[in-house]
Amino acid sequence: MMITKNDTEKRTVFEKSARTVARYPRIFLFASLALATTLSVVGLIAGDFKVEVDNKGWRSRGTLIADREMQVDLMSLNRKKLFEDTDGSYWEYLKNTLSRGYVDLVERDDVYERKLLHQGESRKMLNTRSSRKWGLKDFDPVQSTKRHFRQLLSSRKSSNRQSLLKFDTANDKSRFLALEDTCDVSWYSDYEKVLEEDNTYAIWKVQPGLDTATLSILDKEVMEQICEAEVNTLAIMKEANVCKKCSDGNCLPPHSLVLLLRNKLNDHQSTCKELMNAYTSQVQAEFTAQLYNCTNEYVDNFDSSTLTPGNSPSCPDGFMPNLVDFFFGKDGNTDLRYSGSYFHTYEMDVNDVYKIYRKFDGSDGNVVRGVYDTVEESFNQIYVDELVVSDMGLAIASLGITFCAMLIHTRSPWLTLMGILQIIYAIPLAYFVYVFIAGLNFFPFLNFIGVFVSAALGADYLFVAVDKFKNARIHNRTGSTEDIAGVALPNAAGAMFLTTSTTMVAFFATCICPVPPILCFAVYCGLMIAFNYFMNIALVFPALCLYDIWLQNGSKNCLIAICSNRSVVEDDIEDLEKEDPDHDMQLKLSFIHRLLSGYYAIIHKFKWAVLVASLVAIALCTYYALNLPLPDNTEVRLLPDGHPLELHFKWSGLLLSSSLFSTGTSVQIIFGLKPGDTGVQNDPDTLSKLLIDESFVPREQESQLYLRDFCERLFDQDFTAKQYPEYECAINQFDSWLLEQSSSLSPDDAYVNNCNGASTLPLPEDVFDQCIISWSQAVNNKDVLQENGTVRILIINALASIDLMASIPEIDDEWNRFEKFLKEESNTAPSGTNKFIHASPLWWWFDTNQQMLSTAIGAAGIAIAFSAVVVLFSSRSLILTLFAGVCILYVLAAATATLVGMGWELGFLESICFAILVGISCDFVIHFGHAYIHFPGHVDRHERTKYAVLHMGPSILAAAATTFAAAIVMLFCKVIFFTKFAMILLMTILHATVGSFVVYIVFNDIFGPAEPTKLADKLFSCGKKDDASNSTDEDLVLAKYDVDEKSNLEVTLSSKGEISQNGGENEVEVILFEKSEHYDPIKNA
């Protein structure tokens, strides 16, 4: 028992506050509950709480590329109205008003509506699908963002493409005569409707279990199985009424190789077995040879600029490139491994088809396997929606595990209830600040992922508070609840503040990401971490005081403490000796403390071997972590690789149709727009004002000539091409029109009234605007946009040489080639035309990916730097900071290396998860460092290390086990995002536990300072005199032995050193000594 004069006056504000809480715990608890409930209700109701479960926001904002795309997006959305504006009012509206309403790119005006490639979808199907309830795909950047950018890509195509995508059915030789009596066979001849509408289509792979097939789809046994599967699938469709029917009530047969074979044999009525009887080896050889010649001829004559087939006389009736794979016909290859069958279902409700698609016949799976989806992956999307419900159920179950672990560790339903309330209240309270202080109105579904991180850290806070309080009670068994609270609560609050600050900063550092859902996710998670801390102080601290009061009063209520009547009194772990000098008996330690004590003994015994192993592990993990690759392409998927819907996606990319249609991406060069985004960048519903480049003056004669020659130079580059062969830039079309009109005997009125008889460019400056505007209005060319008789915007359409499936390095290279060319052009362009921009949905998708990757790196750097500062601040030791840095390096390197070994790449989803890794990688080591410096003065490093292990080990192990168990449950989720999130959490906790218990502990045990804060204490006390030489009676410490613990002893120390005793008759032995810098609490005990 240690007593000092004026002890009350020397208490810190935190100790005084803690004692006040312990004095009035009920008041503090009920006041906290009332305030938290009020703010939560206000936040949820007044803040109009709702979760956005659509595809809003998954694109970068505020970057160079994003600023360009925002203006192009805004212009494209309003292009028709701008073109038709006659008095400039709509221009003024867009320039002065912040546009709102997220640009749903399927709602472009009719001229620029979607014209999909081979993943097209009719307007009718859009209307059908609009009634669906969207789910995970719409919040996740995987399905929705990919679809979003496909739509943007297609929306900027020229309207001339549409008419080029169809066959001339009048000249088409395929007649399907045997079906014409009962079925409308025109569908088979319509290239667009078969390949581009959202039909159900099966993809077949022969011998899917083998790396190299020994059979071909064209073999008789394979063709028979495919034929039988198609017949069975048609029967299922017929029963469900989800197919195009013929007059006899049967479904229209699918477009497939079986259909081509029936055409060849003119046999559409026989059974599959009868058809195979007619499919003799000679017919098979002829059929194979015909397909072989047809494929090569088709590829040679295919027009990649218009995506239309050329003349292919060798092809059988109805041949289309979905029937063969990319490898067939190459280098003499006649073995066909992949093929597709298209079923006419695009006029049906896709949800009705989805309900029965699992019944579709995929054959035996050994000889050949078929997998089904639609052209637009609609089954995949709906299935992911359904998985949200089941996976969220598992995620919630993981919370249940967290709550159970809290009960097991605290052995108190009362404290567990307070811990649960702490976690629950953090959710609406964080939302209150999120809306009313941070000013964020967009709440994406992704934010709920943070709830599980918050729950894990919330449990950690509960464990730390409870263990600190119980250890303080063991250290002072006879002290009042106020005494215990004055020691335990500030200590716990300080330890939790350190880990809270590092985790918060890790999440807030992710706010550098310019992608709104990620920014909102980072802010909300950081706020939930903060409110878990605040609510722990507000709820758990007074609850602990009540808990202690009840137990001290002898309560046996199992709702307060389970089996409290059988609990064994545990000795104080701060006494690191084998014997208790006061009671002369062996120390009584709990099972976990005995376990940790034995663990430390092993680590201490083999510390040098463990040190070498740790250094080797750090080196190896760092080496492999640095090999974390970037993804080969920007495609992101949600389902596991082996899922049938995922196989459908992979196999479809191997069909010839996929390779033929992957021919480039739309790029626009735009004069007259200024990059910028004046909207609220974290609110996807806010767009921007239209920013016009006032320096664009095309009427100048020098500018006219530059614009006329620009397109020729552009299309001479090897990385760009015209959207279709007949495409001409608007300025060149206008120049040709001038020549035509000037030589015409009956020129148009637009020319006569506005062009002053000009025959070619350049025109007089006072004539140019009115002439080109009159031409654009006459021919309805919306590439020229005018405001009040002045040309404001000029648009040039081109194609890049790569498509949306290209790798990130390929897209980066392509963007740089465009950027370099256009910068060179800008340097030589006249001043009136030298500020043009280029834009493409491919650039925007690429920029979004790159921002995600750079965010992962930048946020990690910020979090690590801040963690180092916190460790230095908390430990006040450069050596301990160095050890902590080594430990954090191990955690990051080991977790990343593990993921590399699992085949991960640093893609879209992984970047989100890595923010979590950094945030919680340093928590455990901070707890150990805080415990290591507990003793003042000179204390042996081994005793400090052992104390840290025994004092904080139980809390850290409990937190690790809780999070570990919760993450394991989430590994059973089906959606890749959830499983990757769980795996990141799992690996981080695993390696954080190993790093803190092994790496950090062994470094401290070998090299740890005996006086860790000596240097910092000297620096902060610089200028002060030596305490020993100026000591007064107030600095003298009274140490008392052999006093009965239950006596009410009052000792006062006068200024003369006299001692008086009241309230006890025990003999008192008093030793007076000055505080020493080298005071050893163990030796002096």
> Which pLDDT does position 147 carry in this prediction?
44
**Amino acid letter at 405?**
A
Rounded average pLDDT over 249-266: 89
Contact 683, 417 (CB under 8 A): no
Phi, psi of 794 (to 5 degrees): -130, 130
Q: Is the pLDDT of residue 1035 over 60?
A: no
Rounded-to-integer distance, Cα 297 and Cα 890, Å: 58
Q: Is the pLDDT of residue 4 over 50?
A: no
> Which pLDDT does position 349 carry in this prediction?
87
Rounded-to-integer distance, Cα 688 and Cα 693, Å: 15
> Which pLDDT does position 125 carry in this prediction?
32
Rounded-to-integer distance, Cα 698 and Cα 772, Å: 11
Phi, psi of 905 (to 5 degrees): -125, 160
Beta bridge partners of 616: none
> Which pLDDT does position 795 carry in this prediction?
94
Rounded-to-integer distance, Cα 306 and Cα 294, Å: 20
Contact 927, 650 (CB under 8 A): no
Q: Pick left, alpha or beta for residue 837 (phi over 0 → left; psi -120 to 50 → alpha; otherwise beta).
A: beta
Could you count the other beta carbons within 10 Å of the beta carbon of residue 923? 26
Rounded-to-integer distance, Cα 803 and Cα 223, Å: 34
Q: For tokens 């995506």, what's the residue? A: 307
The band of 522, judged by pLDDT with boundaries at 50, 70 and 90, is confident
E-strand ranges in 18-85 read: none
Contact 651, 337 (CB under 8 A): no
Token representation of residue 187: 């569908």
Rounded-to-integer distance, Cα 839 and Cα 68, Å: 6
Rounded-to-integer distance, Cα 450 and Cα 503, Å: 12
Cα dihedral sign, 476-481-487-489: positive
Rounded-to-integer distance, Cα 557 and Cα 565, Å: 9
> Which pLDDT does position 1022 carry in this prediction?
54
Contact 66, 847 (CB under 8 A): yes
The band of 787, judged by pLDDT with boundaries at 50, 70 and 90, is very high
Q: What stretch of H or E contains 387?
A: helix 378-410
Q: Which of 311-320, 507-516, 564-573, 840-849 has the lowest mean pLDDT?
A: 564-573
291-295, 1014-1018, 1023-1027 — which one is most confidently predicted on average? 291-295
Residues with Cβ < 8 Å from 974, sequence gap 6 or more?
Answer: 387, 390, 391, 639, 640
Q: Which of 95-104, 154-163, 255-264 has the lowest mean pLDDT?
A: 154-163
Beta bridge partners of 1051: 1061
3-state DSSP call for residue 15?
Answer: helix
Between 128 and 1030, the more confident residue is: 1030
Q: Is the pLDDT of residue 410 over 60?
A: yes
**Amino acid letter at 771?**
C
| DSSP structural state of residue 253 | P
What percentage of the chain exceeds 90 in pLDDT?
Answer: 32
Given the DSSP bridges, would you call strands 1050-1053 and 790-800 parallel, antiparallel or unpaired?
unpaired
Token representation of residue 959: 């937190």
Of 73, 144, 32, 130, the C-alpha closest to 421 is: 32
Beta bridge partners of 153: none
> By 3-state DSSP, what share of the chain in percent is helix, strand and coil, each rounded to 5?
55, 10, 35
Rounded average pLDDT over 69-91: 90
* Global confidence as pTM: 0.73
Q: What stretch of H or E contains 322?
A: none
Contact 525, 507 (CB under 8 A): yes
Residues with Cβ < 8 Å from 118, sequence gap 6 or more?
Answer: 195, 196, 375, 657, 658, 661
Rounded-to-integer distance, Cα 75 and Cα 785, Å: 10
pLDDT digits (tens, 9 = 90+) for 34-63: 999 999 999 888 877 765 555 567 788 889
Rounded-to-integer distance, Cα 645 and Cα 379, Å: 8
3-state DSSP call for residue 276?
Answer: helix
Rounded-to-integer distance, Cα 1069 and Cα 581, Å: 16
Kindly give the residue spans of alpha helices, DSSP state H, lying in 653-748.
656-661, 701-715, 730-742
> Which pLDDT does position 564 carry in this prediction?
54
Contact 955, 463 (CB under 8 A): yes
Q: What stretch of H or E contains 468?
A: helix 449-475
Of 242, 261, 440, 435, the C-alpha closest to 344 is: 242
Phi, psi of 937 (to 5 degrees): 75, -155
Token representation of residue 932: 């290591």
Rounded average pLDDT over 83-87: 91
Token representation of residue 370: 């078929």
| The 1037-1041 sheet, strands edge to edge | 2-3, 1037-1041, 1069-1073
> Which pLDDT does position 563 carry in this prediction?
65
**Amino acid letter at 90?**
Y
Beta bridge partners of 200: 343, 374
Beta bridge partners of 444: 52
Could you count the other beta carbons within 10 Å of the beta carbon of residue 158? 18
Contact 239, 172 (CB under 8 A): no
> Which pLDDT does position 822 carry in this prediction?
93
Beta bridge partners of 1053: 1059
> What is the tally of helices (H) and strands (E) in the chain?
40, 15
Mean pLDDT of the chain: 79
Contact 503, 870 (CB under 8 A): no
Of 980, 978, 975, the C-alpha closest to 381 is: 975
Rounded-to-integer distance, Cα 1026 and Cα 1022, Å: 10
Q: For tokens 């000679």, what's the residue? A: 282
pLDDT digits (tens, 9 = 90+) for 456-466: 778 888 988 99
CA 668 to chain centroid, in Å, comes to 29
Phi, psi of 478 (to 5 degrees): -100, -5
Phi, psi of 533 (to 5 degrees): -65, -50
Between 1058 and 727, the more confident residue is: 727
